[in-house]
């Protein structure tokens, strides 16, 4: 079977683009390639990844300037036609700014940049992004200053009704509570999907947990889910 094509959008200030590239190419054995933010041509992807980092230096707000890039305009068109789009960390922030996902990412409640491993409970394992994720909590790193997910009560209700809450921060045993919430996110939300199930945003970084040498391979479940959804 031909390799799956993952287009990774690169903005000035992206810094997880090579991590995503390595995860797709070297670990998953699929094809990753970069799309410069000024390019309008996404080069026929199976999936677009908007990687983590500090696009445009996080000026104005995280993701606020990136949404105007030609590559983002095309990503919106791609998503509207059902194309699969993943936003990780700064990518999640960009997807909310581009209105592909509801809500916003605010400053962490402690006002610090937080870099550590957290546990996630996957609440919807029927998605193209999650079908291989186990029931047990998975351990994935976070690294952000603005990961505090917020939305109004009406949106929260809709997210719940449509099963759009994909990941919640929890502890090792799967308890979702104030203690297991690293950044103040509403109801411990760490990742959501759009109504159609083809656009996912998450603050944690699965691409940083792909190999034994890194001490954590739980990110593999995430990428294996996507590959699996194309094969089956
Ligand atoms: N790792 C990242 O993508 C960082 C995201 C963002 N710039 C923040 O600090 O919140």
The SS3 call for residue 100 is: coil
This model's pTM is above 0.90: yes
Among protein residues, the one whose CA lies closest to atom 5 of ligand 1: 90
Q: Taking the CA of residue 202 as centre, how many other CA atoms within 13 Å lie in the half-sphere pointing to its CB? A: 27
Over the stretch 176-215, which tens digit does the pLDDT of each residue have? 999 999 999 999 999 999 999 999 999 999 999 999 999 9
Q: If you average pLDDT over residues 41-57, what whole number do you get?
A: 97
How remote is the CA of residue 105 from the centroid of ligand 1, in Å?
A: 10
Left (φ > 0), alpha (ψ -120 to 50) or beta: where does 125 sit? alpha
**4 close to ligand 1 (CB < 6 Angstrom):** no
Given a contact cutoff of 8 angstroms between Cβ atoms, the answer to whether 4 and 230 are in contact is yes
**17 close to ligand 1 (CB < 6 Angstrom):** no
How remote is the CA of residue 22 from the centroid of ligand 1, in Å?
A: 19
Ligand 1 pocket, mutate which of 147, 148, 183, 206 (most atoms under 8 A from CB): 147
**203 close to ligand 1 (CB < 6 Angstrom):** no
207 is catalytic: yes
- The fraction of the chain above a pLDDT of 90, given in percent, is 98
Examine the pLDDT at 232 and tell me if it is beyond 90: no
Higher pLDDT: 165 or 2? It is 165
In angstroms, rounded to a whole number, what is the distance separating the alpha carbons of residues 156 and 5?
33
Q: If you average pLDDT over residues 130-135, what whole number do you get?
A: 97
DSSP string, 65-89: TGGGSHHHHHHHHHHHTT-EEEEET
In angstroms, rounded to a whole number, what is the distance separating the alpha carbons of residues 62 and 201?
14
What does the DSSP 8-state code read for residue 31? E
Q: Does domain 5-231 have CATH number 3.40.50.300?
A: no
């Amino acid at each position: 079977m031909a390799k799956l094509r993952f287009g990774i959008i690169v903005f000035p200030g992206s810094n997880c683009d090579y991590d995503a590239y390595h995860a797709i190419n070297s670990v998953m054995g699929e094809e990753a390639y970069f799309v410069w933010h000024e390019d309008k041509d996404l080069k026929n992807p199976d999936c677009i990844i908007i990687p983590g980092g500090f696009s445009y230096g996080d000026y104005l707000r995280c993701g606020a300037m990136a949404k105007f890039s030609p590559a983002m305009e095309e990503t919106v068109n791609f998503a509207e036609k059902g194309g699969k789009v993943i936003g990780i960390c700064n990518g999640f922030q960009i997807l909310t700014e581009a209105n592909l996902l509801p809500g916003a990412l605010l400053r962490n409640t402690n006002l610090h940049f937080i870099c550590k491993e957290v546990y996630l409970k996957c609440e919807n394992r029927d998605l193209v992004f999650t079908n291989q994720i186990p029931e047990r909590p998975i351990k994935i790193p976070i690294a952000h200053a603005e990961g505090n997910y917020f939305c109004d009560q009406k949106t929260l209700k809709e997210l719940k009704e449509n099963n759009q809450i994909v990941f919640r921060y929890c502890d090792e045993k799967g308890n979702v509570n104030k203690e297991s919430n690293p950044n103040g996110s509403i109801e411990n939300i760490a990742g959501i999907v759009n109504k159609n199930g083809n656009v996912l945003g998450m603050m944690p970084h699965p691409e940083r947990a792909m190999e034994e040498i890194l001490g954590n391979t739980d990110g593999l479940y995430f990428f294996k889910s996507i590959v699996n959804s194309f094969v089956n």
